[in-house]
Amino acid sequence: MAYTEKDKVTQERLVSIAADWYGQMAGGQVPSITLPTRTKANIEYDAKTEVWKYGSKGTTRTANSAKSALHILKMAYVVGFLKQQLNESRSSTLREMYYISEGWKRAKFAAQDESNMLVEDLEIVTKLSREAFHLRPEEDGASIYGPLHLREQTKRGNRDIHCQENVGEAGYPIPSNVENIKFLDHDASFIIAMETGGMYARLMENGFDEEHNAILLHLKGQPARSTRRMLKRMNNELGIPVVIFTDGDPWSYRIFASIAYGSIKAAHMSDILVTPAARFIGVQPSDISDYNLPSDTLTEGDTAALKAILTDPRFDTEYWRHQIRLQLEIGLKSEQQAFASRGLDYVTKEYLPTRLSEMGIL
Amino acid sequence: MAYTEKDKVTQERLVSIAADWYGQMAGGQVPSITLPTRTKANIEYDAKTEVWKYGSKGTTRTANSAKSALHILKMAYVVGFLKQQLNESRSSTLREMYYISEGWKRAKFAAQDESNMLVEDLEIVTKLSREAFHLRPEEDGASIYGPLHLREQTKRGNRDIHCQENVGEAGYPIPSNVENIKFLDHDASFIIAMETGGMYARLMENGFDEEHNAILLHLKGQPARSTRRMLKRMNNELGIPVVIFTDGDPWSYRIFASIAYGSIKAAHMSDILVTPAARFIGVQPSDISDYNLPSDTLTEGDTAALKAILTDPRFDTEYWRHQIRLQLEIGLKSEQQAFASRGLDYVTKEYLPTRLSEMGIL
Amino acid sequence: MAIAEKLASQQKSISVAEFFEKNKHLLGFDSPTRGIITTIKEAIDNSLDACEEAEVLPDIWVSITKLTKETIRIAVEDNGPGIVPDNVPYVFGKLLYGSRFHQIRQSRGQQGIGISAAVLFAQLTTGVPARVISRTGADKPAYLFDLMIRTEKNEPEIIRKEEYNWDRTHGTRIELEFTGSLAAKRRLIDYLKYTAVVNPHARIQADIDGEWHSFERVSDEIIVSPQAIAPHPYGIEFGTLKRMAAISKDNVHEFLITGFSRVGLKSADQMLKIAGIKGTRKAKGLSSEHLKTLLAAMQEVDVPPPPASLCLSPITEEMIVQGLEKEFELDFVKARTRKAQVFSGHPFIVEAAIGYGGKLDQEGQALLLRFANRVPLLYQQGACAVTNAIAGINWRSYNISQQSLPIGPILLLVHVASTNVPFTSESKDAIAAIPEIEKEITLALQDLGRELKNFINKRDRNKLAEDRARAVCSIIPDIATKVAEIVELPPPDISPIEGQIMRRVVAKKKTEDGMVGVSVTNYTRKPIEVMVYSLSEDNQEEAVPKPDFIDVIGSEFNAVWRITIEPESAWKATYPGKGRGTIDIRGVDEKMKVVVDLDGIY
Amino acid sequence: MAIAEKLASQQKSISVAEFFEKNKHLLGFDSPTRGIITTIKEAIDNSLDACEEAEVLPDIWVSITKLTKETIRIAVEDNGPGIVPDNVPYVFGKLLYGSRFHQIRQSRGQQGIGISAAVLFAQLTTGVPARVISRTGADKPAYLFDLMIRTEKNEPEIIRKEEYNWDRTHGTRIELEFTGSLAAKRRLIDYLKYTAVVNPHARIQADIDGEWHSFERVSDEIIVSPQAIAPHPYGIEFGTLKRMAAISKDNVHEFLITGFSRVGLKSADQMLKIAGIKGTRKAKGLSSEHLKTLLAAMQEVDVPPPPASLCLSPITEEMIVQGLEKEFELDFVKARTRKAQVFSGHPFIVEAAIGYGGKLDQEGQALLLRFANRVPLLYQQGACAVTNAIAGINWRSYNISQQSLPIGPILLLVHVASTNVPFTSESKDAIAAIPEIEKEITLALQDLGRELKNFINKRDRNKLAEDRARAVCSIIPDIATKVAEIVELPPPDISPIEGQIMRRVVAKKKTEDGMVGVSVTNYTRKPIEVMVYSLSEDNQEEAVPKPDFIDVIGSEFNAVWRITIEPESAWKATYPGKGRGTIDIRGVDEKMKVVVDLDGIY
């Protein structure tokens, strides 16, 4: 992790935040910082890159309340820490930084959440990702299985790996820093990213990857940044179509949205994390009745989440409006493994081939 | 997954459960089934195998309450389903079986938990593991990084993998069925299994595996059966010592206990899942004061859990009594990444070497 | 200072009638609506008291007629002993005139205020005189009076008095005209209903502006009127003692024995000894100082409680239960009459009842019926010691929800009978919080609460067991089918299992190794006596135990056993044979019996 | 039937004294403990009423002495007009004897029962006669009486009457002996304290068994005694009308005008026209039917409400506030005297006050002071309309927690003044739930609640802003240090930032490009007037704006500006120079001022 030129830029951007505050204070002004407003109302579609980004609405934090003053103090400490870490070519996790803050007296973090938020703020201000700060995510990357040959630059040298031939049944696990991967070759028609491990294993057991030249990807719930970056790179650099297969409930649609549209939390990272070409294969609300799937009644929380989706600009399309309204109407949700009620092979022999050809991929 | 001889034994054991019920009913008796009582009070230390197993206390479920009758009915359906699955050499996840139960009318499962419990009951009665029933776990296996060379028999043929040289930074992911792994070679002095990904990455970044010939293993919280089985096999078959490195709180001690002593839930599987030789390296309650670690106050839940541990026969040793009482006294807990407050290298340069030599491993 | 003379000139005596005219809310005449209920209550109380004294079964007739939009005429008529003509004006036309004020015994009215206050209220609102008709016997004429009260003097004014041709041989009728409305009709009917509950010997009929309500008597037993007793030494105050002594002609020793309840020769001696007074002195001559010493001495000597059975007349448990059942058709009702107790020297008895289910409202707070000396209390429930005591009981421990009062289809009745019921005000709406009384109420209701809990539990338990068994029996066939499918055999006969679960009597026949077994299992909760019939080609003469009777019909043997089987027990007979034939049992309800021939299954 | 005669023989008249002796709880003599408070209350009420009528500033002396373990002597003495000797026995020895019963005006006592009931209670418990000393003027002798009540007749019995050598020129003293205890001493002191609060013109001194309590008068204004008024046509009942007509000598027209409040020529004409009665007929001769029609007509004509200012005597807002402040030392207190209103023809005025903080208990329920006609109500708080009204108000909307009553360091005072305060019972403990009265109480308290909310909010806001600023100022230096470390520069001077945050007046000097800027920013919330002093080697004659004064001291120029700055505004002056020298401001508290020379930083 020692690309000195890149690190130098990062350092400069971080220090310039402190320099701004210094200037404000020297001029007798209360220090402040302006950040884009991080709400649903302030994300906008960027036609050029086809992703959703923060709009022009900004929120200024001025140190004239104890809360804001403390926030700026903590930000100053984080900037100081990162500056030093970059100087020394070290890296650390957010959790480690949280513990390092023990020595920061009043600037000590009250909770992990707080340091996470603060690092996001710095990403936004510097227009750089946390990986550039040498901050490692805690979250686990997903696994890949399929006809893809890649080279990972590790601390122990380069590793060439074929994601069918050189890996066990659990596949190739995506490392935390995807920038270290170079694609060598592939023979894939499409990538199918799945929410659950059960479905990933089902497709593998049924030989779906071999039959359709598919890359199987296990998202493990809400996908980690590295997973999203990996999807983006495979789609962007190798031109492989991406389809997303999740449960049929609002939380799962949000998984899809975070891949295809970008998340509100990480809208400032949309350029590198979002795969606008990714498409939703299912479980669609219409599938629940079309395939007579076992289902659960929507909870109050589900209904509220669906209604929130209806006001989410990212979902403001004919397709989603129709599907969400349908789901609110029938009041049901189904999991992707629910297809098992029609037999263990139904999903690979019937459902997915049908949907893929509907979508023009098969 | 088609080892017909093994499958035949499995099938016979399953059918014999149904045969018992048939006999009871034909004789005018209400059908019943007896299972070991699955509470803390009924696990006993087995000196021969050095693991904790269910004792002799049994609970008999007789179908003279609606709840028990329904339980027996569901068990009968599961037995029927598994008999057929084995016949057809198929496999499935618990979740898939849950959905298949949609077609079972009144025997349909009300919740996933219920089918899990039931499969555990069948494991106990048949003295076979769920893998023998061709039931795949949903849970994710852990990752391994270190000087270990192995061969995995996959559905696509054998794969030979060296867990340092043929894998990326995320390591080698343990597959769901560890029985398909054959160990080829290794150069390891010990295995260090860690609770958090942050610590796993820290040891890798700091070159701990190379410096000490250590196999790093990321447990990902409460370890999956496959992870525990893998540890057991490495310890048992390769004779590599195992140390466990978790946070310093009661939930983490339970992680250790599930590896070294067996869990109450899976006491019937202790023989194949438990590594009695595994040792706890930290975070020990005594480390909190010895190393002046950042700590949190114990919650009411923590205190209750610690007190429960004091009555747990598995923890009835001098060492644990001392540590748990100490922790109750100081009223604090610390995470493993808390060592970062003393610098990013402290854990690999100071803490672990000191502890390992105390334990006679280094 | 001239001011004192000026003030003195304004001072004058106020008549008690004036006082109550101004303070009519004190007597329960706050509003015209309430005034009507109070009037009827006072009239009925008087009628019931009079009938009791005359030992007559009361027959009371109430009529309420709307004369104009705002005027109402009330008439109450009874078959009581009547009132002698000379007394009629005073009974109805003078406040504080009565026969029971100076007596120590249980009665409904006591102060001699109630009915005259109603007359006062009537003349205040309409100015129409009260009309009273009364006759004291078949041999006497009836008289009709039109009466008013001279408020400033508290004296009756006779407007009219004449002989009257009345078909009743004895009784009294009063008619009053009020300004008021029938807004509280519901409450009035409740009042009549509750009065009927605690006066099961009375017949009350009411014509409420054309609506007819009749409350029949449940019991023909004439209530023995409580007798007056002398004051008890523990309940007396200095002023009373002084007054009693002043009018006594006896010596102190005799004065103590005759003047007080439960004071005998011995206790009188003790009292005098402690007080240091010679028993031979005249009571009249004792100084205040002596009397004070005597009073103190009287408190020190052990004297038994007052003779409650003489002066109090509880309704009795049986009568309360009958009364409640008639009016509410309950699933459960129990009553308690507690032993007499004393507060401040006044004897009292608490009676209570709990009713459950039936026509009671399934939801909301319990229906609370409060009574004092057989009179229903309709107002100020919240201020009453009864309500207090009930709210203080932990009803949840009887599995009854509670929100201050208990909640559910529950009726609570509490009756306090005393020579001196301590009301919170003269309108007699609520019983004052006397700890002794509250304790008795609590104990009575706790006792009843436990019984109610048992009743509810038992009912719930039976229902639950039945439901549970039914649920199990609906699952067993599915198990049989599935299990049979797995083991690839025909489904077994599950009727004996069902019999066992449904707590039936199950008879089985099964043949193994040349021995036929006939068994009868009693899964019910009661012992049974049955006849077992076995019709078979096998010779059953060698059966153990031996049949009570064997009949040979052609080639078949008909064996009969007469047996008794305890609950949850089984009887069995065996004999050599091939098991051909049939069995049956008699003596058990068809619905309770399951007969299975296990030889027929395979 | 012989029974009727037997019953008749037992019937007799009951004296009102007997009645109340038996029902003493009705008058507030439930227990010896309570009896003592009631006695003192009745005696003080009488004293205050008498002083008011005589237009004397009341000086009341109370003494309570424990004679034996169980006996207590109470004495109450006043400087009132005294009572003429012939009347003394009746005032103290006869129930229902008084001067105010037939008058329509606000007074404390009304029924002529209270003090004689105390005498009755005393003789009942100890038998010791009441002692009364009274003198009506310096030119008259004082008389001493020992009095008892003949209960069965309700007549006074004079045990002793003699001239007495008394040092007072006028006044009355009563002494009574009771059986009882001082268990309620706390409540008694409260009663005296509360009485003092609503009678700021009275001095009350008490010797409670050796403990001395003094309540000084706050106001020397003599209260004008309320005057009696005629009844209002809306509040009259038929019976009263009939009685009034019967004793009238006027014709109906005159009868209406003189007999009733607020009935003038015109309204009398209207009433007669509606009733169809000739005005010239004598009122006395009208039949019941005519009177009924007249009464109805009287209700139909618009008549203004009764003249409350004449017959009622509110305490007034100012006096309530003074009284409360003296006794409770509150942080906040406000009072409201509402306009007079009418219920059932009786005029009434509601007054209320809210107090907050000070010596009040920080936790628990609000302290509730209830008054009726200037008399504190101590018992039955739960049954009172005042409590009801308070509990019905949503105090949470005034940011006050509530659990039925409001919670916190709050005092609520409610005074209901009326010609006829509707009590729930004759013991006068609680005001009855009259909607008109409850509404007035609610409105008064809601109004005060809003003011209290404003007070609390403002106080909280100021405190909060100050706390917040302090917190921020403790963090700013850390930010400065850390930021300086990152940019590798010396820490900046942060005093102007602190000045801004702490809302101070900040003066700054800063030199850029050869121009010196002197600025003063007023971050406070008020406009300021300051003098700016600038001592410098730079010549400040060219400063814009021009200094009001320039002094040359050696090589230095001393410039002075006198300026006014609005809140949150700044003033600035510039002049060419190098920025050497110092600045200062005067006219602002040192603690509020921050002066920074930014030229000194780098």
Q: Say yes or no for a CB contact (<8 Å) between D476 and A105.
A: no
Q: Reply yes or no on whether the pLDDT at A60 is more than 90.
A: no
Task: Give pLDDT, residue B280.
Answer: 95
Q: Pick from D11, D81, D425: which is nearest to C87 by CB?
A: D11
Same domain for C54 and C194? yes
Give the mutation candidate from B77, B143, B167 for the A interface (greatest A CB count, under 10 A).
B167
The verdict on D547 touching A (C-beta cutoff 8 Å) is no
Regarding predicted confidence, which is higher, C101 or D346?
A: D346
Give the mutation candidate from D473, D479, D501 for the A interface (greatest A CB count, under 10 A).
D479
Q: Do chains C and D touch (3 or more CB pairs under 8 A)?
A: yes
Q: Reply yes or no on whether the pLDDT at C463 is more than 80.
A: no
Confidence of residue A1 (pLDDT cuts 50, 70, 90): very low
Q: Is residue D231 part of a domain?
A: no
Q: Residues D502-526, buried b or exposed e (16+ Cβ, 10 A)?
A: bbbbbbbbbbeeeebebbbbbbbee
Same domain for D337 and D191? no
Angle between helices C185-198 and C32-54 (to 10 degrees): 20
Regarding predicted confidence, which is higher, D511 or D222?
A: D511
Q: Which residues from chain C sit within 8 angstroms of residue B31, using beta carbons?
A: 479, 483
Q: Is residue C561 part of a domain?
A: yes
Please identify which residue in the block is written with the tokens 């019984």: C451
We report the CATH number of the domain holding residue C545 as 2.60.40.10
Give the mutation candidate from A130, A292, A337 for the B interface (greatest B CB count, under 10 A).
A337
Q: Which residues from chain B sit within 8 angstroms of residue A198, using beta carbons?
A: 93, 95-96, 136, 138
Least confident stretch, C220-234, C289-303, D91-105: D91-105
H helical segments located in B144-274: 197-205, 208-212, 225-238, 250-260, 270-273
Same domain for D189 and D50? yes
- Rounded CA-CA distance C573/C596 in Å is 15
Q: Pick from B25, B72, B77: which is nearest to C494 by CB?
A: B25
Least confident stretch, B356-360, C313-317, C441-445: C313-317
Range of the domain at C593: 502-597
Q: Is residue D472 part of a domain?
A: no
Confidence of residue C601 (pLDDT cuts 50, 70, 90): very low
Confidence of residue C602 (pLDDT cuts 50, 70, 90): very low
Q: Is residue D398 part of a domain?
A: yes
> Under 8 Å CB-to-CB from D599, ≥6 apart: which residues?
D509, D510, D511, D579, D580
Task: Give pLDDT, residue D105.
Answer: 63
Q: Pick from D12, D82, D125: which is nearest to C237 by CB?
A: D125
Compute the mean pLDDT over every residue in chain D, rounded to the nearest whole number.
85
Confidence of residue C582 (pLDDT cuts 50, 70, 90): confident
Q: Which residues from chain D sit within 8 angstroms of residue C151, using beta carbons?
A: 239, 243
Task: Give pLDDT, residue B1.
Answer: 42
- Mean pLDDT, to the nearest integer, of A332-350? 91
Q: Say yes or no for a CB contact (<8 Å) between C501 and B72.
A: no
Q: Which residues from chain A sit within 8 angstroms of residue D489, using beta carbons?
A: 22
Q: Report CA-CA distances (Å) from D189 to B252, D211, D329, D363, D412.
A: 65, 11, 18, 22, 18
Task: Give pLDDT, residue C112.
Answer: 62
Nearest chain B residue to A337 by CA distance is B96
C-beta of residue A190 within 8 angstroms of C-beta of residue A245: no
Q: Which residues from chain A sit within 8 angstroms of residue B196, using beta carbons?
A: 95, 138
Residues B54-83 pLDDT 10s: 877 888 888 888 888 889 999 999 999 999
The answer to whether the annotation marks C474 as part of a ligand binding site is no
- Rounded CA-CA distance C240/C344 in Å is 14
Task: Give pLDDT, residue B291.
Answer: 92
Confidence of residue D1 (pLDDT cuts 50, 70, 90): very low
Q: Which of C300, C334, C352 is the last residue of a domain?
A: C300
Residues B111-159 pLDDT 10s: 878 888 889 889 888 888 888 888 887 766 789 999 999 999 888 889 9
**By percentage, how much of chain C surpasses pLDDT 70?**
95
C-beta of residue B281 within 8 angstroms of C-beta of residue B352: yes
Least confident stretch, A56-70, A195-209, B245-259: A56-70
Nearest CA-CA distance, residue B317 and chain C, Å: 45
Question: Which phi and psi (to 5°) does residue C230 adopt?
Answer: -75, 160
Annotated binding site of D for ATP: 46, 78, 99-100, 109-116, 428
The answer to whether the annotation marks C555 as part of a ligand binding site is no
Q: Reply yes or no on whether the pLDDT at D578 is more than 90.
A: no
Same domain for C159 and C71? yes
Residues D197-244 pLDDT 10s: 888 889 999 999 888 999 888 888 777 777 777 888 887 878 888 888
Same domain for D156 and D278? no
Same domain for C293 and C322? no
- Mean pLDDT, to the nearest integer, of C194-201? 88
Residues in a beta bridge with D350: D416
Task: Give pLDDT, residue D100.
Answer: 64
In this prediction the ipTM stands at: 0.52
Query: Which residues of B are known to be catalytic?
Result: 99
Q: Say yes or no for a CB contact (<8 Å) between A15 and D479.
A: no
Same domain for D204 and D245? no
Nearest CA-CA distance, residue B67 and chain A, Å: 22
Confidence of residue A76 (pLDDT cuts 50, 70, 90): very high
Closest by CA position to B211, among listed B59, B97, B353: B353
Q: Pick from B97, B173, B344: which is nearest to A143 by CB?
A: B173
**By percentage, how much of chain B surpasses pLDDT 90?**
50
The verdict on B308 touching C (C-beta cutoff 8 Å) is no
Q: Is residue C233 part of a domain?
A: no
Task: Give pLDDT, residue C100.
Answer: 64
Residues A321-332 pLDDT 10s: 999 999 999 999
The answer to whether the annotation marks C109 as part of a ligand binding site is yes
Closest by CA position to B12, among listed C486, C480, C492: C486
* Coil/strand/helix, residue D244: helix
Task: Give pLDDT, residue C442.
Answer: 93
Q: Pick from A156, A172, A204: which is nearest to B164 by CB?
A: A156
Q: Say yes or no for a CB contact (<8 Å) between C4 and D84.
A: yes
Q: Do chains D and B touch (3 or more CB pairs under 8 A)?
A: no
Same domain for C417 and C533? no
Residues C87-140 pLDDT 10s: 888 888 887 776 666 666 666 665 667 788 888 888 888 888 899 999 988 888
C-beta of residue D527 within 8 angstroms of C-beta of residue D563: no
- Mean pLDDT, to the nearest integer, of D425-434? 81
Nearest CA-CA distance, residue D130 and chain C, Å: 14
Cα dihedral across residues C270, C271, C273, C279: positive or negative:
negative
- Mean pLDDT, to the nearest integer, of D395-400? 88
Q: Is residue C55 part of a domain?
A: yes
Compute the mean pLDDT over every residue in chain A, rounded to the nearest whole number.
88
Same domain for D273 and D341? no
Confidence of residue D425 (pLDDT cuts 50, 70, 90): confident
Task: Give pLDDT, residue B276.
Answer: 92
We report the CATH number of the domain holding residue C266 as 1.10.8.50
Interfacial C residues in 471-490 facing B (CB < 8 Å)? 471-472, 475-476, 478-480, 482-487, 489
The verdict on D503 touching A (C-beta cutoff 8 Å) is no
Give the mutation candidate from C474, C486, C597 for the B interface (greatest B CB count, under 10 A).
C486
Question: Which phi and psi (to 5°) does residue A177 adopt?
Answer: -110, 100
**By percentage, how much of chain D surpasses pLDDT 70?**
95
Q: Say yes or no for a CB contact (<8 Å) between D111 and C19.
A: yes
Confidence of residue C434 (pLDDT cuts 50, 70, 90): confident
Same domain for C285 and C358? no
Task: Give pLDDT, residue C349.
Answer: 92
Q: Which residues from chain B sit within 8 angstroms of residue A156, using beta carbons?
A: 164, 210
- Rounded CA-CA distance D204/D59 in Å is 6
Q: Which of D435, D456, D477 is the last residue of a domain?
A: D456
Confidence of residue C1 (pLDDT cuts 50, 70, 90): very low
Least confident stretch, A262-276, B42-56, D173-187: B42-56
Q: Pick from D468, D486, D497: which is nearest to A30 by CB?
A: D497
Q: Pick from B15, B28, B76: which is nearest to C479 by CB?
A: B76
Task: Give pLDDT, residue B2.
Answer: 45
Task: Give pLDDT, residue C2.
Answer: 63
Q: Reply yes or no on whether the pLDDT at D602 is more than 50.
A: no
Q: Say yes or no for a CB contact (<8 Å) between A25 and D489.
A: no
Active-site position among A22, A54, A98, A99: A99
Q: How many domains does chain D have?
A: 4
- Mean pLDDT, to the nearest integer, of D523-543? 88
The verdict on A305 touching D (C-beta cutoff 8 Å) is no
Confidence of residue B357 (pLDDT cuts 50, 70, 90): very high
Q: Is residue D1 part of a domain?
A: no
Residues D358-385 pLDDT 10s: 888 888 888 999 999 888 888 888 778 8
- Mean pLDDT, to the nearest integer, of C188-215? 89
Nearest CA-CA distance, residue D356 and chain C, Å: 31
Q: Residues C256-292, buried b or exposed e (16+ Cβ, 10 A)?
A: bbebbbbbeeebbebbbebbebebeeebeebeeebbb
Regarding predicted confidence, which is higher, B268 or D349?
A: D349
We report the CATH number of the domain holding residue C321 as 3.30.230.10
The verdict on B204 touching A (C-beta cutoff 8 Å) is yes
- The H-or-E segment that residue B245 falls in is strand B242-245
Q: Reply yes or no on whether the pLDDT at A2 is more than 50.
A: no
Q: Do chains C and A touch (3 or more CB pairs under 8 A)?
A: no
Same domain for D115 and D33? yes
Q: Is residue D444 part of a domain?
A: yes
Distance of CA C109 to the CA centre of its chain: 20
Interfacial A residues in 49-68 facing D (CB < 8 Å)? 63-66
Q: Which residues from chain B sit within 8 angstroms of residue A99, using beta carbons?
A: 294, 335, 337-341
The answer to whether the annotation marks C111 as part of a ligand binding site is yes
Same domain for D249 and D204? no
